[in-house]
Structure 1
Amino acid sequence: MSIANIEASAPLPKSARSTVLDWTFSRMFRGLIYNQVWEDPLVDLEALALGPDHRVVSIGSAGCNALAYLFADVKRVDSVDINAAHRALFTLKRTALERVPDWTTFYRLFGTGQSPENVRVYDAHLAAHLPDPVRAYWSGRGMTGERRIGMFRSGFYHHGLLHRFIGLTHKLAKLKGCHPARLVEASSMEEQARLFASDVAPVFSTKLTRAFARSHLSLFALGIPPAQYDRLEEGAGGNLSDLLIKRIERLACDFPIADNPFAWQVFARRYGPADGKAIPFYLEPRIHDVIQPRAGRVNLHATPLTDYLAAQPAGSIHRFVLLDAQDWMSPADVAALWREIGRTAHPEDARVLFRTAGPANPFHWLPEDLRRKWTARDDLTPAFTAADRTALYNGVHLIERHQ
């Protein structure tokens, strides 16, 4: 689709969308949805071109990427998130990065996430250093009656809405005689494709999973709100089940499995070996040693992004990381966000990075006055999108400030 066509087709909310769906999702989103960030930090680091003078503002989510930005020796990272569970997880990661005695302990917490020792580390090294609301979250008791920090004993990556959904798909796979975890044993890209065909694709070709893909309520389990569902449906031409299957296939087949922690979480429900590349960037031992002394540069704020920016000085921010938040927003809210981005962006060195579930770039729908000092690097979108190992997004977009 050309730029002209994109500009002429700004998204409008579907009139038939039920307020019940929005209310239901908002209730579900109050808990732990994502145990890890589902945007590839290697793509972020390339696109953002971070430097030691840069101040970064990002949406926090589970905190993996904000910690990864410290590898570039940035001056400051300010992350915002309105989800209290995600803030609690992010703060736990940052505090552990500062406080636990060594990489092995840090990795056991967030790489393995399944050891009684993790609870002892929390009590001995972390609890006393957490803000009161965060300590109340992890020391508080969930629906099972166990302290929430106990998730790191029983298997952290089996908890949270998205990871419980992944577990459900594995149970469905076994009923069909399929074993998705076999895929991570592949020794070549060709073997990955073969194992995808035998142990993954059949699960997503059933009438049940196709019906699931057509349901707003079912896709809430993936952390997909009603507005983003509509973007996906638009990009799929109404055939959302085929789109989801293609993205699962890309995750399984387009990247070496030994280098893809996102694929390991989906197909094996864990990360790869600690000495390999199928673990999050911030958890790699060589990265840990670099970012650990810089952990204090990361700040977390319990406020919506637009509100946070409205309180910042003009020209004070170099990099903005929006994740896929614009997919969730109305056109008026997107415009309000970009108004604050334009005001707070450094006049000579600013970049904005974001993902979209659909093919179109929402920057092109903005009023002309909000786009005037920015350049959309649509020429880079295909390469960034293809490089993102999560395989979730239809577009990874970079916008640069110009004079």
Structure 2
Amino acid sequence: MFNLPDRYKTDVKVALKDFIPKDLKPNDKKRIKDAVKEVRLVYQIAGEEIPSVVDANYRCQAIQFFDIEVVDIKDAQFLASTYQNIIKPYCVIHMHDAKDEVYSFAVKRLNQQDDTQIVIEESLVTEKYPMNLPDEGRNRLLAYMDFLTIKNKLDKDFVYNDNFKMTEEEGLISDGAMDSQGERFIVNSSSQNRFHANWMNMMYPRLQIAKDLLKESGLIFISISDIEISNLRILCDEIFGASNFVVDLIWANKEGGGSSDSKLFRIKHEHILCYAKNIAEVEVIGIPVGNEDRYKSEDEYVKERGKYYLQKLGMGSIQYSQSLDYPIEVPDGTTVMPADNNGGKKACWRWSKQKYEWGKANGFIEIKKDGSGQWTVYTKQ
């Protein structure tokens, strides 16, 4: 239980030598010494009957709440198993290192043949929750185990709700888009000081669920613009692990000159961020290039760009645009228009004049006569 009243607060530091039972095996004692940095008994409820979250047979008169700082959270499972069996009262053990935290719970009862011993009927160590980032799973846990929620309910009323149907209003409240009085919250506009933080709060639990749904050899691909790419990397490094980063695929999402997305530069690309659940299990199986035999031509850039094929710059099949219908000078000093490369029919170039000048300067344009002697403009693909 959480949000306990101050009357239960103890906040007593427990000496490590007193926290390690003398009858433990030497290897287990050493492991605890190496793993644990500090132990505190932060709360203790005693001398009153506490409603159980299980059923009436498991009501208890004492619950202890321990906070254990560990060197590495990977030792949490061992510590939880050890101390839930040693500590006779019900106890909640909160363990954390510098990055992550977990909680340990156990359903206990006295041994019917020997009431000096306890029997662990069920135990649980939660998934890891990040210490410094919001987490939907932790929020659900804290709400479910809230002190007043449990204290004010009889066991017969404390039933898990498996009806997930919601009205639109209930859904908005659950998603944080509306308060309990029916007032919608303000949209997360970029003018807000917490614009990026709000976006990260929204994305974090969704990415965590996505990771849980992946199999060990699975990959996730996330399309994102420049606006949040850096924050997405932070989230994914936290959830999937930086070592499971695969690639940041940058792709051109606009053809031609593009539109002016910025006061300074034309933005014509976005990102596809790829992470693995377990990169050691990933096998990327490539597929052969189906039309590889068409890439036969070479130029001075072959080592950097590979072979290429030629494609006409003039096209009659695309929607006509006057801005793409401009003259191009050919080697003999004359000019050609798109229609000249399309049998005299109305046409336009595939590239803007600005892009054509760039392509010409960087070796992506080839102009030569076709079989009928007509000067034809090609791009190197």
Pick the TM interval, shorter chain: under 0.3
The structure with the largest strand share of the pair is 2
The structure with the largest helix share of the pair is 1
Q: Which has the larger radius of gyration?
A: 2
Question: Relative contact order, CA 8 A, sep 6+: which one is greater?
Answer: 1
TM-score scaled by length of structure 2: 0.20
